[in-house]
Chains A and B, each alone.
Chain A
């Protein structure tokens, strides 16, 4: 997913403008720092979880007694299957697990087709939904299990081709199952998001909105996808659109992301084009009601380290440019 040479851009831009290049600052806040540890579960017990990380290393984390895990539903950490992909929110320098999500996936895109029972891979009354996840992520097929369809349909009243879909679920055996709605579906068709408010006068020094996450990032990758990048810079006709008045930035630029709900802040580098998130003009109600519009789509690790809950799917955010 990362584009080559974007780290070099920061160095060159800083040299040209006489700025200093600061490395990404760690998360700061009132509470202790959070760490996201990702990997494949090698061993799990009520008191310990062992992960094989992407670089081939091993991460051993103590599981506190109050920790819960999620894998399509809340369960005890010891019930997680060995071999599942897990992301752990950890404290104390990444040694104590605080929350575990296993095989979690997020499916965001435009509905292309919905097929009912009898489809390959689906049980009777399950629905197979084909999605267009944008020019960078291609198409995905997701199974909406019958038992989850009511909950999803409540938040997706326009369950028809051409409308937006955003759900959280589990990836199992190469198949994605949607279990929870990640947002209240926008009422408009995909591509018909309202334009940003007119920018009369000066720009804002801080911009508020909502931050979400996406599973299209690599396991241990930190960063964000940002919608307002020039189309010719990323070769994407759908970028540069947002219902928030966002400034143009580039891959490699730094965002200061502040989680309004937890008070945590972190410098996050833009590593991808967020054209899909630019099409959503929704709100986050994680803590109060956020202004409309998705400002950044974070990598799961960044989202977790900022205090976000992957199952809730978003947090209210305020950004500045680093």
Chain B
């Protein structure tokens, strides 16, 4: 019973692994983006994305097969998949000790270590245990018992101990790259600007709602607009949106066209710019 209770765990890991790989392929589509992820690192650059996508598809098919049917093909295919993964990781560790396993996409970027090998070995063993289940995977959810839940949680805990990705994820959440080094789209800054008081206050001065220029410097995104003062003088209205935080400060200045002389400045207080 302990062995068959691991089916939800195996199916969950296959699904999460597949989704993480697809996300990684979408995010790191540029050349070199997956050069540090196994098993992509073992194949030429042009095959890296197809290999990861293929791997993700196989995982999804296996997970669906385990849950939906009791066909023995999916049970044996899962055993073969994890056994082969163990061999690939072993080979990866020998040939490319600098790259990560890529099991969960770019979260698995730390070099392959014994724990990663132990995890695929445990998963292979769990897959072997599924051969004793004569019912489809969904049957377990219908006939759920506390013993099965505890068994599955025990299996998850064992896999968590063997997962360096958890430490990596915690580290990424705790220590984010500073704002000035993170790519941040202008569109979200523009949305923040348009919902701000500074925008509503100066909107009537603007000749157009489309900025004439937009640029980013460190953690600030600037939007420059052509406008006119109530006296009819042509001016540039520039907004500076801070790119970090839930309620980012937004600065605004109205600058004359002649030599950049400031006509009015509504935000004398400044936020220090750090580098």
Contacts and interface: CB of A to CB of B under 8 A. Distances in A.
Q: Do A and B come from one complex?
A: yes
Interface of A: 5, 8-9, 11-13, 15-19, 21, 188-189, 191-193, 195-196, 198-205, 229-233, 240, 245-253, 320-321
A150 B147 CA distance: 73
A196 B181 CA distance: 10
A15 B181 contact: no
B253 A12 contact: yes
Given A15-B260, A191-B30, A192-B45, A247 B218 contact: yes
Interface in B198-243: 213-218, 220, 222, 224, 236, 238-240
A191 B236 CA distance: 39
B11 interface: no
Given A248-B218, A250-B216, A320-B275, A12 B224 contact: yes
B183 A248 contact: yes
Given A12-B236, A204-B275, A249-B216, 6 more contacts: A9-B215, A16-B251, A17-B273, A195-B36, A201-B175, A203-B180
Interface string B5-48: 00000000000000000000000001110011000000001000
A282 to B, nearest CB: 16
Contact of A233 (B35, B215, B236, B270): B215
Contact of B181 (A17, A21, A193, A247): A247
Given A16-B238, A250-B215, A203 B31 contact: no
B214 A233 contact: yes
Mostly helix, strand, loop or mixed at chain A's interface? loop
B201 to A, nearest CB: 14
Interface residues of B, number: 43
A16 B253 contact: yes
Given A198-B177, A205-B275, A17 B31 contact: no
Interface in B159-185: 171, 175, 177-178, 180-181, 183, 185
Given A16-B222, A16-B239, A18-B268, A191 B186 contact: no
B191 interface: no
B112 interface: no
Nearest to A207: B275
A24 B253 CA distance: 23
A11 B260 contact: yes
Given A18-B270, A230-B186, A9 B213 contact: yes
Contact of B222 (A9, A189, A204): A9
B260 A16 contact: no
Nearest to A206: B275
B32 A17 contact: no
B260 A21 contact: yes
B195 interface: no
B260 A12 contact: yes
Nearest to A240: B183
B84 interface: no
B265 interface: yes
A203 B224 contact: no
A15 B256 CA distance: 10
Contacts of B35: 192
B197 to A, nearest CB: 15
